[in-house]
Structure formats: structure tokens, C-alpha cells
Amino acid sequence: MSSILTNNSAMVALQTLKSVNTNLAKTQDMISTGKNIATAKDNSAIFAISKVMESDVSGFKAVSDSLSLGESTVAVASAGAEQITNLLNEIKEKVVAATGENVDHTKISADVTELTNQVNSVVSASQFNGANLLNTAGGNITVLSSLDRDAGGTVTASNITVASVDFETNLDLSDIDVSSATAADGSLANIETHIQTAVDGAAALGASAKRISDQNEFVGKVTDAIKSGIGSLVDADMEAASAQLQALQVQQQLATQSLSIANQAPQAILSLFRG
């Protein structure tokens, strides 16, 4: 049955054209933004997951900054501890030399005093941004190392604590006496103890520095993995989007022509009334 009031063919063609135009607009948006899921209405579940993961990436950026700061602080202290070890070895040479009877103990004592002052200077100067792991005032430092999210979504912070070696207290060089051969001989055991203390402190700081460095590297890898995961969830497949765009443009042209043909159908009824 033909009707001049209701054109079913035109309605079908119009719905088809609207559907094609909607898909075409979405594809063009994918190409312009580079995202398959740009808003919550595109896919609310995936959008929510991606936003949580993006917040984790931001958190891990702060963790990486904290680790870098901690790594620098420990590196300065470690360098100071190694320098102090070298200075103590020089003091040991002076002590050994002072065990002889035919040496100038006054000059050796002056040298030991200067080296001792240098040790104290290094202890005081081995600070980074006000944190010093070699003196009493510095104390331990706590470094944010990770943000851990459990299955329920609860986030907890993990930390790495680096203990101060406190050379200010543990390296009291007042027991080094080279004023005579006898005094120097008695100081040999003391300087050996101090050297061991410095070596142990440098080793402990080196181990902490390695742990922080490894954790920083791990956090960087985790961040990259999360970013890759976000991309796989929300990024558009540009090759597929390009092919889809071309197909939809052809469909749009065909749907437009189909609507035009359907709109002309009622005019054919006029031929029934021609004499």
C-alpha cells in the first residue's frame, strides 16, 4: 500500500543515516583524541578502572621523587663515609710512624690533629637538603618506597628506613695519641677499631643506597607497565579507526542516496492521477 502521509521507506532510510552519522562522529572523535574510551559514557567500567590506574601513576611519580631524594641523601653520606675511611687510613700511617723512637712526634701530632679536624669537617658537611646520616643530629631518614593497593582498593604506603651511622659519636678520635712511641703503640688498636667502624658504616650506607636505587628502578618499570595497561584499555586502534572511517563515509553516502530515493517515492503516486 502506498501512502502520501506515511513513508516507511524514508523512515527506515533516515534511521539508517542517523546510525551511520552517530558511528561516524564517534570514529572521528576516536581519531582526534586517540582514545577509544574518552568519557564515562563510552564504557563506564573501563573508564573507572583507567582513572584509578592513572591515579596510581601519579602516586608512583611522587614515590619516584621521594626515592630519588633519598638516594641522593644516602649517596652524599656514603661518599662522606668513604672519604672518612681514607682519612682514617692516613691517620693510621701517622700512628704507625709515631711508634718509632727517632721521629718528630710533635709534627706527627700536628698532622693527626689536622686529619682529625678534617674527619669532623667531612661528618658535618655530608648533608643533603639538611639530612645528614653521619652525625648525631641527622638521625635516621624514612624514604617513601611504594604505594600498595590491595584487592579491596585500600592503598597503603611502604617505606625504607636508612639508619644513621652517627660517626660523630661512634668515631671519637680523642683516643688517638702519637705524642710518644709508647702512646702511639697503644693507639694502634684504637685506630683499627675506628677504621672498622668507618668501613662498616660505609658498607651499611652502600647497601641502603643499592636498595633505594633498585626500588626506584622497579617503581619506574611498574609505572611504565601501568601506563601500557591504561593504553591497552582506552587507546584507539588507529589503523582500525582509519579503515572504519572510510567505510562509514561510504555508508553515509549510500544512506543519503537511499533517503533521497525514498523521499521521491510519494511523487510516483501522481502518475496514477494523470489522464
Looking at residue 230, its pLDDT comes to: 92
| The pLDDT of residue 7 is above 90 | no
Dig out the grid coordinates for 83 from the structure.
672519604
pTM, to two decimals: 0.76
Tell me: the pLDDT tens digits for 20-52? 898 888 888 888 888 888 888 888 999 999 999
Dig out the grid coordinates for 5 from the structure.
502521509
Q: Are 37 and 234 in contact (CB under 8 A)?
A: yes
Burial, 208: exposed, middle or buried (Cβ in 10 Å; 0-12, 13-18, 19+)?
buried
How big is the chain by its Cα radius of gyration, in Å?
39
Greatest alpha-carbon span in the chain: 145
Burial, 169: exposed, middle or buried (Cβ in 10 Å; 0-12, 13-18, 19+)?
exposed
Tell me: the pLDDT tens digits for 104-125? 999 999 999 999 999 999 999 9
